[in-house]
Amino acid sequence: MFKKTLVMISFVTLAACGPSQQPPADQTAAPAPVAAAPAPAGPSANDEELARIKAEQRKLQRQQNELAAQQQQAAAAPPPPPPCQDCGVVASITPVKQAGQAGLLGGLGGAAVGGLAGNQFGKGKGKTAMTVVGVLGGALAGAETQKALTSTTVYQVAVNMEAGGQRTVTISSVNGLAPGSRVHVDGNNLQPY
């Protein structure tokens, strides 16, 4: 529609302003008297249509410029990356003492020492009873001693996750981690990043 209107206006303009259909006047002839120019009658329908088309063109150009600016802004600012599901910040570190395991070695060693000590007391059946009491007491003491010697300290680390929530991970060594450290949670391991 727009192109047809523009072509029509072009033809009308050429017809109105184009070369005269009269043959050229003789160069030696006297110039024709100049008539007074008629008073302008106001804008014609063609002039109004041309002004309307130009206004539409300016409006379309503004819209194209605005769209191009929006596209440039969208391309210049990429969307933020999604939060890392396994990343977070250390909130707290709590050391926890874990009891060791009582093994056969501690019980046997304690029983032997307790039996020797109990055998030093009493005579006859009393000596036998003291030896039995020493063996039992030594076995219990040896087992507890082995538990104390094999106990370990582990660390419960609370991590505030970037994706929301909190995870608690138990690790054997903090390796320089402190509250506020950024970490990646990989199962029961924490890796600083």
User: Three-class SS of residue 152?
Assistant: strand
Against a cut of 0.75, is the pTM above it?
A: no
Close Cβ partners of 129 (under 8 Å, ≥ 6 residues apart): 122
Instruction: For residue 154, list its beta bridge partners.
Output: 96
pLDDT the model gives residue 32: 56
User: Three-class SS of residue 52?
Assistant: helix
Distance CA(129)–CA(109), nearest Å, equals 19
Instruction: Give me the domains of the chain, ranges plus CATH numbers.
Output: 84-98+152-193 (2.40.50), 100-150 (no CATH)
- Secondary structure string (H, E, C) spanning 70-129: HHHHHHHCCCCCCCCCCEEEEEEEEEEEECCCCCHHHHHHHHHHHHHHHCCCCCCHHHHH
Instruction: For residue 167, list its beta bridge partners.
Output: 159
Alpha-carbon separation of residue 16 from 12, 19, 21, 25, 167 (angstroms): 6, 9, 11, 20, 84
Tokens of 103: 């093994």
Which pLDDT tens digits describe the chain residue by residue (193 residues)?
Answer: 666 776 667 666 666 555 555 555 555 555 555 555 555 556 678 888 999 999 999 999 999 999 999 988 877 777 777 778 889 999 999 998 887 777 777 778 888 888 888 878 778 888 888 888 888 888 888 888 888 787 888 899 999 998 888 999 998 888 888 899 999 898 888 888 7
pLDDT the model gives residue 73: 83
